[in-house]
């Protein structure tokens, strides 16, 4: 069972509506059934290239964010990072949805198909090439049983 | 003027070309017109009732909301350039206007935002730039247009070209354009700044030297004229050329030969000379600092490059040009400059000409990674002081402010110290000490 690091592009305690607007990146380590905070990163630079490089340097596997332009998403994809864009909601809700594989329910209006990854070619990508999302041991695994109390 | 009650208000809103949406006080969308659907790519039925930030995806949506600013301050925002991100990942440049909405009792019940898609405008600007550019020189002003019209013919001739213009007007760019448009384009383009090298070094740089010409000259060294063989040599700051070299250059222009340092036989040269200066050569000739015969040899074709302040219509084109260039160089996605930045640029005097504009935009690129360059991204030297949050004259350390006050008072009083003392209500000794601290006067021994 491999360990995965996910990154949430946040504004305050919610996902930033646009990736470029995020004032903080929150990292979570996903190991089997557990999600643990793995650090935060506030970058003074709003330069998308700087942000992309910083996130890449943190060993992130999956980025969850709001609206993101094609070019930035492509940069992540080229680096082998899965991107789950067009998601909205508070950090806790997003983590819950990620664990339950229901991020589609938090899709921004009019973006459901894109957030689910099926609408646009090239919109989904990941290291394993099996579509984005958390790398899970078993498709039907009950992963969120014990993780709620472990994040803060 | 009240809207006529008998007219279908919703139909009117639907028919306008600009996107328009309204929100309630909780930022939930209460109306979303057809143009808004088209520009954002989101159907109205999905947008209605949703938080505007989740639908609009603009560069202002997290923390800099224009609607919130309007509602909080009770004002309106007009023509602010931002970008939105569509669900297909496309960044769309838009110009937004926002205002609060009030009920009959004057209470704020929400806000309205209109937005215009600037994509077409940007494409048109790009086409216009292509239309109004020669080589790397961009401009649509009449002053530059005249030069553009004759530049190809001038370039194809073998005539010596003299470029006159203030610092930063792009003299080297024009020199390169002359070279690139000439039959010598496949040859080298060699630029020499005549003002940057000491006289003795300049001579050996231009004409080269022979082994043994001086101590340490162990082997022949080709000069720039030799390196430019078959191409063009650009002599920048020609007005700074020392008298001795003026004679030598005159010989090159007249007889196409020169002698390297320590050489005994003349060397034939095959270069086209383009010279440039920001100094008044005629005045230098009149003062005896520049040879008249050389001036007339150089002055076969003279191109006067207009300063940027005389062609403000070129500023938007040049701005777009530099933004495109820096985007390509730095891999950024800066869309352009906001309207207020452009207004500021158009008002600025640009004593440093195009180079100053380029430097301003290069600075802005450091602070602005994407979207539109706003006032806060500009250097303090051009930014209006209200944007930096300080009143006029109050920027800098206390000592700097004092120095500035003394300096300005002296200027106002034509350098008269007693009058300055009276204006500032300080003693002569205080003024003297201030001037010493500010480096205007040397300190006396023991002070």
Q: Which of B62, B87, B333 sits opposite A21 (nearest CB)?
A: B62
Helix (H, G, I), strand (E, B) or coil at B373: strand
Select the CATH number that applies to the domain covering B9-117 from these four: 3.30.360.10, 3.30.230.10, 3.40.30.10, 3.30.450.20.
3.30.450.20
Interface with B, mutate which of A25, A42, A69, A76 (most B CBs under 10 A): A69
The confidence score (pLDDT) of residue B382 equals 81
The confidence score (pLDDT) of residue A116 equals 63
State the nearest Cα–Cα gap between A34 and chain B, in angstroms. 29
Angle separating helix axes B417-424 and B398-412, nearest 10 degrees: 130
Which one, of A67, A82, A59, lies nearest residue A15 by Cα?
A67
The confidence score (pLDDT) of residue A130 equals 33
Regions of chain A with pLDDT less than 70: 1-2, 113-152
Which run of H or of E encompasses A31?
strand A24-31
Q: Which of A16, A68, A120 sits opposite B62 (nearest CB)?
A: A16
Tell me the CATH number at A52.
3.30.420.130
pLDDT tens for B411-439 read 777 788 888 888 788 888 888 888 888 77
Interface predicted TM-score (ipTM): 0.76
Residue span of the structural domain in which A102 resides: 3-138
The confidence score (pLDDT) of residue B321 equals 86
Q: Which of A66, A69, A109 sits opposite B46 (nearest CB)?
A: A109
In chain B, which residues fall in CATH 3.40.50.300?
142-304
For the domain made up of B398-437, give the CATH fold. Arc Repressor Mutant, subunit A (1.10.10)
- Distances in whole angstroms, Cα of residue B313 to Cα of each of A15, B173, B304, B409: 43, 19, 18, 37
| pLDDT higher than 60, residue B181 | yes
Q: Find where tokens 């403000």 sit.
A: B312
CA distance B230 to B64: 58
Please indicate, yes or no, if residue A111 is contained in any of the structural domains. yes
pTM (predicted TM-score)? 0.56
pLDDT top residue among B7 and B322: B322
The confidence score (pLDDT) of residue B442 equals 59
Interface of A with B in 92-131 (CB under 8 A): 108-111, 114, 120, 123
State the nearest Cα–Cα gap between B232 and chain A, in angstroms. 40
**Residue-averaged pLDDT of chain B:** 85
| pLDDT higher than 50, residue B173 | yes
State the nearest Cα–Cα gap between A31 and chain B, in angstroms. 31
**Alpha carbon distance, N-terminus to C-terminus of chain A:** 23
CB contact under 8 A, B88 and A46: no
The total domain count for chain A is 1
For the domain made up of B317-381, give the CATH fold. Helicase, Ruva Protein; domain 3 (1.10.8)
Please indicate, yes or no, if residue A104 is contained in any of the structural domains. yes
Q: With 0-12 CB in 10 A as exposed, 13-18 as middle and 19+ as buried, what is B92?
A: buried
The confidence score (pLDDT) of residue B324 equals 84
Kindly report which listed range (A107-121, B145-159, B226-240) carries the lowest average pLDDT score: A107-121
In chain B, which residues fall in CATH 3.30.450.20?
9-117
Which tokens in the block code for residue B45?
A: 């039925």
pLDDT tens for B387-413 read 444 444 555 677 777 887 888 788 777
From chain A, pick out residues whose CB is under 8 angstroms from the CB of B51. 88
Cβ–Cβ contacts within 10 Å for residue A34, how many? 17
Cross-strand pairs, B19: B115
Max mean pLDDT among A53-62, B43-52, B314-323, B402-411 falls in B43-52
For the domain made up of B142-304, give the CATH fold. Rossmann fold (3.40.50)
Per-residue b/e over B286-322, b at no fewer than 16 CB within 10 Å? eeeebbeebbebbbebebebbbbeebeebbbbbbbbb
The confidence score (pLDDT) of residue B443 equals 55
pLDDT tens for B241-300 read 998 899 989 999 999 998 888 888 888 999 999 999 999 989 999 998 899 999 999 988
């Amino acid at each position: 069972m491999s360990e995965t690091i996910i990154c949430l592009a946040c504004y305050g305690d919610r996902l930033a509506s646009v990736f470029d607007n995020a004032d903080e990146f929150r990292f979570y380590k996903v190991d089997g059934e557990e999600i643990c905070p793995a650090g935060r990163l506030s970058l003074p630079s709003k330069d998308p290239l700087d942000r992309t490089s910083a996130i890449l340097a943190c060993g992130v596997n999956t980025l969850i964010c709001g609206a993101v332009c094609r070019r930035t998403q492509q940069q992540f994809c080229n680096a082998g990072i899965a991107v789950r864009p067009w998601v909205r909601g508070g950090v806790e809700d997003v983590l819950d949805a990620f664990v339950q594989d229901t991020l589609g329910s938090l899709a921004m209006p009019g973006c459901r198909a894109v957030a689910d990854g099926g609408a646009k070619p090239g919109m989904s990508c990941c290291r394993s090439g099996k579509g984005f999302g958390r790398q899970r041991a078993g498709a039907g695994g009950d992963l969120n049983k014990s993780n709620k109390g472990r994040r803060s | 003027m009240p809207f006529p009650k008998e007219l279908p208000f919703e139909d009117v809103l639907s028919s306008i070309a600009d996107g328009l949406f309204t929100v309630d006080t909780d930022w939930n969308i209460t109306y979303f017109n057809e143009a808004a659907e088209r520009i954002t790519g989101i159907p109205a039925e999905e947008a209605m009732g949703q938080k505007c930030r989740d639908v609009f995806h603009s560069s202002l949506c997290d923390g800099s909301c224009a609607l919130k600013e309007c509602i909080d301050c009770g004002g309106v925002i007009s023509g602010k350039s931002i970008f939105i991100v569509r669900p297909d990942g496309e960044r769309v440049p838009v110009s937004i206007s926002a205002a609060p909405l009030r009920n009959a009792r004057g209470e704020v019940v929400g806000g309205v935002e209109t937005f215009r898609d600037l994509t077409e405008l940007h494409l048109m600007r790009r086409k216009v730039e292509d239309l109004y550019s020669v080589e790397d020189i961009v401009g649509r002003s009449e002053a530059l247009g005249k030069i553009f019209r004759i530049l190809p013919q001038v370039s194809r001739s073998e005539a010596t070209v003299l470029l006159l213009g203030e610092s930063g007007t792009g003299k080297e760019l024009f020199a390169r354009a002359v070279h690139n448009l000439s039959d010598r384009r496949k040859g080298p383009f060699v630029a020499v700044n005549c003002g940057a090298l000491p006289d003795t070094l300049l001579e050996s740089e231009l004409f080269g030297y022979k082994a043994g010409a001086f101590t340490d000259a162990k082997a022949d060294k080709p000069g720039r004229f030799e390196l430019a063989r078959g191409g063009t040599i650009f002599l920048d700051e020609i007005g700074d050329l020392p008298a001795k070299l003026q004679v030598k250059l005159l010989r090159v222009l007249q007889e196409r030969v020169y002698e390297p340092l320590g050489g005994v036989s003349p060397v034939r040269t095959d270069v086209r000379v383009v010279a440039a200066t920001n100094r008044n050569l005629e005045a230098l000739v009149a003062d005896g600092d520049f040879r008249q015969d050389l001036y007339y040899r150089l002055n076969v074709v003279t191109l006067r490059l207009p300063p940027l302040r005389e062609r403000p219509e070129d500023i938007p084109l040049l701005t777009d040009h530099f933004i495109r260039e820096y985007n390509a160089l730095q891999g950024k996605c800066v869309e352009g400059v906001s309207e207020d930045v452009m207004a500021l640029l158009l008002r600025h005097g640009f004593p440093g000409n195009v180079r100053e504009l380029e430097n301003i935009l290069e600075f802005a690129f450091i602070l602005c990674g994407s979207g539109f360059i706003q006032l806060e991204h500009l250097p303090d030297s051009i930014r209006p002081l209200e944007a930096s949050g300080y009143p006029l004259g109050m920027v800098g350390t206390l000592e700097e402010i004092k120095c500035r006050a003394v300096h300005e008072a002296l200027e106002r009083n034509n350098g008269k110290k007693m009058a300055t003392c009276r204006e500032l209500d300080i003693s002569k000794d205080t003024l003297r000490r201030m001037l010493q601290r500010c480096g205007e006067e040397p300190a006396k021994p023991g002070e």
